[in-house]
Amino acid sequence: MTKIIIIFLSYIFILSNSSLAADDKKLRVGLLAPFSGEHKNLGESLLLSTQLALDEIDDENIIIIPRDSGTDDKDKLNLAIKEIINNGAKIIIGPMSSSSFNELGKYRDTIFISLSNKEPKISNNVINIGISLESQLQAIEKFLVSQNKNKTLILYPKNEYEKFIDKKIKLLKLDDNKIFKYNPDPRILTGEIEKLTQYNQRKNNLEIRKNFLKKKDDEKSKNELKVLDQLYTLGSVKFDSIIVIDFENSLKSVLASLVFSDVDDESVVFTTVNQWFDESMFRENSVKNLYFPSVDIKQFKKYNENYYKTFSLKPDEITILSYDALGLIYYIWSKNNGIKTINDFFIKQKIKGKIGTFEFKDNRVLQQLKMYKTENNKFKEF
């Protein structure tokens, strides 16, 4: 891996530095990535993803100028930006994190195509193309409406993202929804979910009904008792759909607690966010019918296969965004015969990339995500 990166970096540096003064008609694009620090592997993967995009575009007029932005290092970030600008680039892919955005305002004449997913709003000189929570919630909302679900329970943890999620939830137009914020500690979570779903009451309802039927001697009562013996609780919950805004092990804990509390995923629609087709959901998820919005799975698989075939490595899933970022920049540059300001990106037509279709609307970048479900150890487009 290191050898590949060194060869590629050397090639890019030589090409960019030798070509800058020669031809002003070339498209120069900076790349801010963490080539050092704890996220070094991600930075290298972003660079290789950009190489894939270059190969597909196949235009010698594109020059990539990569620089190390470090990890939460303002000095290194500013140094990298200045070096990129000095090498003639007015458009930069990156940074990944929204925590760096305060620094970007210093460079008003430079356009940043960030991979952050925190905020789809286009702010001054920054365009975020990450898969935003706003886009995901819009896809889920549309899906639940199509399924005639009108009593939605929205769950998310009490943590540093709580206020951010609060703001995004207000954008939903679901007729009737209830919000529940849970303690992320698994030892507390299960008890909270039990109270939320009235588990003890429904379990008690079952025992009361069974005891009543045991006193009966008619055939109908006996048959009903046989059915109830297969159940854990009796009575429905007060919602017909769930949105869990969480990820990884914390998400799995919430889903497990819901199943333990006997919330049936046949009658209640389970949806979630932040999924990149994580196959561990098959092994560790007790919810069999889980729905989520995501990027185009066919393009995602094709990208992963091409990446592995080219570099014998598996890419970090977020790197598909840098692939699309370069494609977007090249499209705008070719269409307008250059890029002068950020306004050049405000186009009316929808753009189809590897992640799917996205558009610039109301000063926002919104993705039109597809809905998928887990079914028989596979991801199936709904």
**Whether the predicted pLDDT of 91 surpasses 80:** yes
For residue 325 the two structure tokens come to 């970022």
Share of the chain above pLDDT 70, in %: 93
| Average pLDDT estimate for 204-213 | 94
| Average pLDDT estimate for 45-63 | 93
Query: Which long-range contacts (C-beta less than 8 Å, at least 24 apart) are formed by 229-233?
Result: 231/206, 232/203, 232/206, 232/262, 233/199, 233/202, 233/203, 233/205, 233/206, 233/262
- C-alpha pair distances (Å), 185 with each of 189, 192, 250, 259: 6, 11, 9, 17
**Whether the predicted pLDDT of 28 surpasses 70:** yes
The pLDDT of residue 285 is: 65
**Whether the predicted pLDDT of 54 surpasses 90:** yes
| Average pLDDT estimate for 128-142 | 92
- pTM comes to 0.87
Share of the chain above pLDDT 90, in %: 62
The pLDDT of residue 18 is: 46
**Whether the predicted pLDDT of 4 surpasses 70:** no
- For 276, counting Cβ atoms within 10 Å of its Cβ (0-12 exposed, 13-18 middle, 19+ buried), the class is middle
| Average pLDDT estimate for 139-168 | 94
| Model confidence band, residue 124 (pLDDT cutoffs 50, 70, 90) | confident
| Average pLDDT estimate for 199-225 | 93
Chain position carrying tokens 């609060």? 166
| Average pLDDT estimate for 148-158 | 95
User: Hey, what domains does the chain have and what are their CATH numbers?
Assistant: 2-131+297-367 (3.40.50.2300), 134-294+372-381 (3.40.50.2300)
Chain position carrying tokens 């370069």? 326
The pLDDT of residue 274 is: 80
| Average pLDDT estimate for 331-346 | 90
**Whether the predicted pLDDT of 13 surpasses 50:** no
Instruction: Give every CB contact of residue 254 below 8 A, 6+ residues apart in sequence.
Output: 155, 182, 189, 193, 244, 246
Please indicate whether residue 10 or residue 322 has the higher confidence score (pLDDT): 322
| Average pLDDT estimate for 332-356 | 88
| Model confidence band, residue 281 (pLDDT cutoffs 50, 70, 90) | confident
